[in-house]
Amino acid sequence: MNRLEGVRILVVDDDPDVLDGIDLALRSEGATTLRANDGNEAVMLWRKEAPEAVVLDMMLPKRSGFLVLEELIEAENPPVVVMVTANEGKRHMSYAKSMGVHAYLNKPVPLETLIQTIYDLLKEGNRPASE
């Protein structure tokens, strides 16, 4: 069974290898994926396509992951947002959680962990991450 069958997911990362890896893993689980390499493209695609979930890198060109997150979370029908980052600072994690991110994962994220996290969040009905 494909855990993400019929789910539209926007993947945002400026590293093409990371983008390709996450995209392939999500599609192998049945998801329909959209891809963006910078924060402005991410917001534009999200507004146009309204995916149910977003995998969001924190460090992005043009608009940071935090600014993208702010836009997504304030929407009338916000998506599940999983932030992935190479930054291991606790301050960034706390800030992301205070903004309402659903999950915060450190790179390199095992793809199975990412897929299961998205699946669980969608199943639970989008509850924000707890401290």
What does the block give as tokens for 22?
A: 């996450």
Q: What pLDDT shows up at residue 86?
A: 86
List, for the chain, all residue ranges whose pLDDT scores fall below the cut of 70.
125-131
Q: What pLDDT shows up at residue 28?
A: 97
Per residue in 96-116, pLDDT (tens digit) is 999 999 999 998 999 999 999
Q: How many residues does the chain have?
A: 131
Nearest Cα to 81, choosing from 105, 62, 53, 44? Answer: 53
Q: What pLDDT shows up at residue 124?
A: 79
For the chain, which residues make up each domain, given as ranges? 8-123
Task: Note the pTM of the prediction, 2 decimals.
Answer: 0.91
Architecture of the domain whose range is 8-123: 3-Layer(aba) Sandwich (3.40)
Task: Map residue 117 onto helix, strand or coil.
Answer: helix
Q: What pLDDT shows up at residue 126?
A: 54
